[in-house]
Amino acid sequence: MNTISQMKKVFAIVFLFLYSLTYAWADKGVNDTIRCGTYPMPNGDTLPSFYLADVVIRIDAPAFIKQQREANLQKDRELALLRYNVYKAYPYALIAASVIKNIDEELDKLANRKAEKSYLKKVEAELKSKFKGQLENLTMSQGAILVKLINRETGKDCYGIIRELKGGFSAIVWQSVAFVFNNNLRKRYDPINEDKEIEKVVQEINQKGYYRQYRAHK
């Protein structure tokens, strides 16, 4: 029996049950022991009518409802994973923004290109020593989110940052490597459309005051 036929059968049972309730209770006679309602028959006779316990009839949901339910569950899983990835990547974006701000301030104080190169090498060595292992443990999805969040926090894309600090050739090399891993160092952050779900998580993080120690650059 298909779903529509099952539903029609349920509606018919409910209708007949309600219809039977519109008739008066039978008067109690001399030999009666149980008072009950009556149901009229076409020949003029009546049949006893009793209340029965409620029966729950399970009707399988139509296919499109099941598909929608699965789609909603899949979306919930994806959003949960996105939230986890943003929580993993966001502190590194804040650290990167703070480091870049400090670098810009220090480079303005240096007199020549040689001093700048020496300073950048020192900073690079310090960052590698502190964060290389942690960053290598990020997944590709977390890395792609990190690229966007760095743009959010600095206003600069990662390609431009590398080009400023390491030169155009290094930027091209790292962009090529990023493409291999389905990433793009030129990616801009779009909190209104493409990255609105990421932005919701970032706002949640900021409201809770997480990673406040990394926001000294703000």
Q: For 122, phi and psi rounded to 5 degrees?
A: -65, -45
Which whole number is the average pLDDT over 50-67?
72
pLDDT of 132-152, one tens digit each? Answer: 777 778 888 888 898 899 899
DSSP 65-130: HHHHHHHHHHHHHHHHHHHHHHHHHHHHHHHHHHHHHHHHHHHHH--SHHHHHHHHHHHHHHHHHH
Check whether 18 has a pLDDT greater than 50.
Answer: no
Q: Is the dihedral of CA 92, 93, 95, 99 positive or negative?
A: positive
Q: What is the pLDDT of residue 14?
A: 46
Question: What is the pTM for the complete model shown?
Answer: 0.63
Q: Where are the domains of the chain?
A: 3-49, 68-214
Check whether 198 has a pLDDT greater than 90.
Answer: yes
CB 202 within 8 A of CB 90: yes
Q: What is the pLDDT of residue 178?
A: 64
